[in-house]
Homo-oligomer: A and B are copies of this chain.
Amino acid sequence: MRLDLTPDQLAALTEAPAVEGDVAARSRPLAGIAALADAGPADLSFLGNPRYAAEVPASRAGAILVPADHPGSPAAGQVFLRVANPTHALALVCSTLEARLWPRPPAGIHPSAVVEPSARVDPSAHVGPGCTLLAGASVGPRAVLEAQCHLGAGASVGEDSWLKPRVTVADYCAVGARCRLQSGAVVGADGFGYEPVGGRIERLPQVGVVVLEDDVEIGANATLDRARFSRTVVGRGTKVDNLVQVAHNVRIGRHCLITAQVGIAGSTVLGDGCVLGGQSGVAGHLRLGDGVRLGAQAGLFEDVPAGGFMNGTPAMPFGLERRVAVLARRLPDLFKKVDSLAAALDSLRKDAP
């Protein structure tokens, strides 16, 4: 889809306090958005991350969102939109595009959807083709269920939530308001609970639920297990990326970022504002305070107080892990040095009277 907005229109949209560039360029409609190095004269670009600042002078972009204090000037025929926060400004532009690309689908239930008589669908909600809603399921005002979503018995989706195609919200689980769930997400699989009984493995029934509070987002093919009893909880405003595993009885606080492929084992409790790096893992029955951070691929096996930043496997405080990682690369030298020390000491002892 074409952007179809002029730099002047974009300046109004992003509330850019300063626009630099000639009038012709400012009133020429742009077609797309592209990274600095890829953009052409018909593209809007932006400097969101200072690491790319050196790419600005060479960029062929028709217009660039730059920080207010960016030192350069636009090239000929190019426009600079000076803004407080280019990333936020670009988000405003993208929001405009998003509203065009994804208009809210019409209210109503697609004739191919299967909705049990006892399910309650608000008249303003959209239930797409191929959806299946079991007994007692409920869909709130203005919620959107795209194609092939499944709500189990007694499952609920709150107002203004948006489920992309092929999402499962299993029996009795609850999705709050303004949540977004990506394709293939599974909310409410059975927890992995077993007991060895004489060489066999016996299943422990998992009769709890999953509760997603308001403003939660869940990534594609992520899996969240129902509690063994009571509730697995994802706190308000928390964002969970693709292919993340949240085990039974986990409680994630508010406004956390759980990056792709993270795994959180059973009964662990996270505070608010935690950030877990990609592919990291957290063992079961742990307590993480508010604002805890965990590096990518780290493996955490101990409680962490508020504000802690851990890294490595097994995870240790970030600063220590950095030193250990640097020294580990110097192990070949260390072994050699110790060998030569031993030799020197030997020869010294031989020489000793």
Binding site for B on A (CB under 8 A): 1, 32-35, 38, 49, 51, 87-88, 90-91, 94-95, 97-98, 101-102, 110, 112, 114, 128-130, 132, 134, 147-148, 150, 152, 164-166, 168, 170-172, 180, 182-184, 186, 189-190, 192, 194-195, 197, 199-208, 217, 219-221, 223, 225, 228-230, 237-239, 241-243, 245, 247, 249, 255, 257, 259-261, 263, 265, 267, 273, 278-279, 281, 283, 285, 296-297, 299, 301, 312-314, 316, 320, 323-325, 327-332, 334-335, 337-338, 341-342, 344-345, 348-349, 351-352
- Of all chain B residues, which has the CB nearest A152? B165
14 A-B contacts (beta carbon < 8 Å): A33-B208, A38-B230, A90-B229, A91-B204, A130-B130, A150-B165, A150-B166, A165-B170, A170-B183, A189-B219, A283-B296, A297-B299, A320-B332, A330-B335
If A34-B230, A94-B207, A184-B186 are given as contacts, then 8 extra A-B residue pairs at C-beta distance below 8 Å, sorted by A number, are: A35-B249, A94-B204, A184-B223, A201-B238, A260-B263, A279-B279, A334-B338, A345-B345
A192-B247 Cα distance, complex, nearest whole Å: 21
* B residues near A273, Cβ cutoff 8 Å: 199
- Specify how many copies of this chain sit in the oligomer: 3
A134-B130 Cα distance, complex, nearest whole Å: 12
A323-B334 Cα distance, complex, nearest whole Å: 12
- Of all chain B residues, which has the CB nearest A295? B299
* B residues near A128, Cβ cutoff 8 Å: 132
- A101-B207, A148-B150, A345-B344 known; A220 and B186 CB under 8 Å? yes
- Of all chain B residues, which has the CB nearest A249? B35
* B residues near A206, Cβ cutoff 8 Å: 94, 98
* From B134, B242, B312, contact of A192 by CB (8 A): B242
Closest approach, in angstroms, between the C-beta of A185 and any C-beta of chain B? 9
